[in-house]
Every structure is written in structure tokens, then in C-alpha cells.
């Protein structure tokens, strides 16, 4: 049935929105070194803007150190430039082949700022889920008018749609709470 298919498609889109939120939240800095901090950093290389993960091996051998080993040594300066231009607030050091990023301990004020950034990202994720719900709801209403679907069927599907929405908003909140706990951990 078309209404069931609409719910399946909406759920898939909501899952993608929450997955995107997960990746977005991973870029928020915590007190620990994590390769995800810099993986999606855009670097001007070979005349195009490319994610750092495609240009270098990234590791965190110590809790406060990220090591970036470019596949091409000629990219060291471009990677350094991208790190400095980013909003990470980190200063790279290199030996010509490897770039090291020391992750300083976060101050209490910086932790609060990062939590604010995190809350904004989580709220954006929630808004995305609600937008998907609204689109599905509009689609349900249009099907009711055009396809002769009964009002009872539409109401039942609206209830299922709300349950889906609640589940994915809860998932977004859980992602945010886990990351907040990680940021505030000293």
C-alpha cells in the first residue's frame, strides 16, 4: 500500500538524518584526541577541495595527540594551512613528512562553548526529523484527498508517523547527551 511505503521511506530518511547528526557531532572537540576531529576538514589539493581523510592517514596514538601522515609529502603545507584556517583552534607542527596536532586540555569556559555548539547541532538534527515528519504528513493529507484513502487509515498512519518521529528525536537527544557527557568529562 502507498501509505505504508511512505512511512518506510520517511523512516529511512529520518535514519539518515540521525546518522548525519552522529557524524556532525563527532567533529565537536572533546578533551581527547580523535581522528574524527579533522577527517572531514577540507584541504585545497590538486586544484580541488578534498576531505583530509582522502589525502592522509590519521591516527591518535596518544590521548592528546593526532598524527596526520599525508600520502603525498607535497601536501604537508596545504594540510597545515587548512588546519590553521579551521575553527579547531589547533596549531600544527610538522617535520616535513608528518603533521602533529597537540590537543590542549579544555578550559571550563571552552567546554561550555562547545556544549552550546553541540546543542545547536542536536537541535538542527531534531528540526530535520520534524521537517521530514511534516513532509510525510502533507503527503498523507494529499493522498487522503486524491486517492480516496479513508480518514481512519490516514489517522492510523499519522499515529505511526508520530511514533517514528518521537523515536528518532529521542535518538538525536541520546547522541547529544552522550557527547555532552564526553565534553564535560575532565
Instruction: Please write the tens of the pLDDT for every residue from 5-51.
Output: 989 999 999 999 999 999 888 877 776 778 888 888 888 888 888 89
* pLDDT tens per residue across span 60-103: 888 888 999 999 888 888 999 888 888 777 888 888 889 998 88
* The predicted structure's pLDDT at residue 186: 62
* The predicted structure's pLDDT at residue 174: 95
* pLDDT tens per residue across span 155-171: 999 999 999 999 999 99
Residues 14 and 45 in one domain: no
End-to-end CA distance of the chain: 53
Instruction: Residue 120: give the domain boundaries.
Output: 2-26+107-184
What sign does the dihedral 113-68-82-50 (CA atoms) show? negative
Phi first, then psi: give them for residue 47, nearest 5 degrees.
Answer: 80, 10
Residues 16 and 39 in one domain: no
Q: Classify residue 8 as exposed, middle or buried by CB count within 10 Å of its CB (0-12, 13-18, 19+).
A: exposed
Residues 123 and 82 in one domain: no
* The predicted structure's pLDDT at residue 151: 84
Among 46, 112, 45, smallest CA distance to 79 is for 45
More confident residue, 33 or 53: 53
Residue where one domain finishes, among candidates 53, 75, 102: 102
Residue where one domain finishes, among candidates 102, 124, 147: 102
* The predicted structure's pLDDT at residue 24: 85
CATH of the domain at 91: 3.30.1360.40
Q: Are 36 and 22 in contact (CB under 8 A)?
A: no
Q: DSSP code of 129?
A: H
61-78 burial, b if ≥16 CB within 10 A, otherwise e? eeeeebbbebeeeebbeb
Residue where one domain finishes, among candidates 45, 78, 102: 102
Please tell me the total count of domains within the chain.
Answer: 2
Residues 171 and 126 in one domain: yes
**Proportion of the chain above pLDDT 70, given as a percent:** 98
For the packed helices 2-26 and 151-184, what is the interaxial angle rounded to 10 degrees?
A: 10
CATH of the domain at 176: 1.10.132.20
pLDDT at 1 over 60: no
Residues 63 and 21 in one domain: no
Measured CA to CA, the distance from residue 70 to residue 74 in angstroms comes to 8
Residues 111 and 179 in one domain: yes
Residues 39 and 94 in one domain: yes
pLDDT at 150 over 90: no
Residues 18 and 79 in one domain: no
pTM for this one? 0.71
142 three-class SS = helix
Amino acid at each position: 500500500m502507498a501509505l505504508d511505503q511512505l512511512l518506510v521511506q520517511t523512516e529511512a530518511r529520518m535514519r539518515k538524518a540521525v546518522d548525519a547528526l552522529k557524524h556532525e557531532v563527532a567533529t565537536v572537540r572533546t578533551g581527547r584526541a580523535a581522528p574524527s576531529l579533522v577527517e572531514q576538514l577540507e584541504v585545497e589539493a590538486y586544484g580541488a577541495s578534498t576531505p583530509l581523510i582522502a589525502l592522509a592517514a590519521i591516527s591518535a596514538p596518544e590521548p592528546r595527540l593526532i598524527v596526520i601522515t599525508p600520502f603525498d609529502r607535497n601536501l604537508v603545507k596545504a594540510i597545515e594551512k587548512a588546519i590553521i584556517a579551521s575553527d579547531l583552534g589547533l596549531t600544527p607542527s610538522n617535520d616535513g613528512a608528518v603533521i602533529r596536532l597537540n590537543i590542549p586540555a579544555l578550559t571550563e569556559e571552552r567546554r561550555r562553548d562547545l556544549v552550546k555548539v553541540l546543542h545547536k547541532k542536536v537541535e538542527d538534527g531534531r528540526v530535520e526529523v520534524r521537517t521530514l515528519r511534516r513532509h510525510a504528513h502533507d503527503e498523507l493529507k494529499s493522498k487522503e484527498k486524491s486517492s480516496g484513502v479513508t480518514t481512519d487509515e490516514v489517522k492510523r498512519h499519522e499515529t505511526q508517523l508520530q511514533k517514528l518521529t518521537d523515536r528518532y528525536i529521542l535518538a538525536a537527544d541520546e547522541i547529544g547527551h552522550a557527547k555532552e557527557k564526553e565534553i564535560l568529562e575532565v
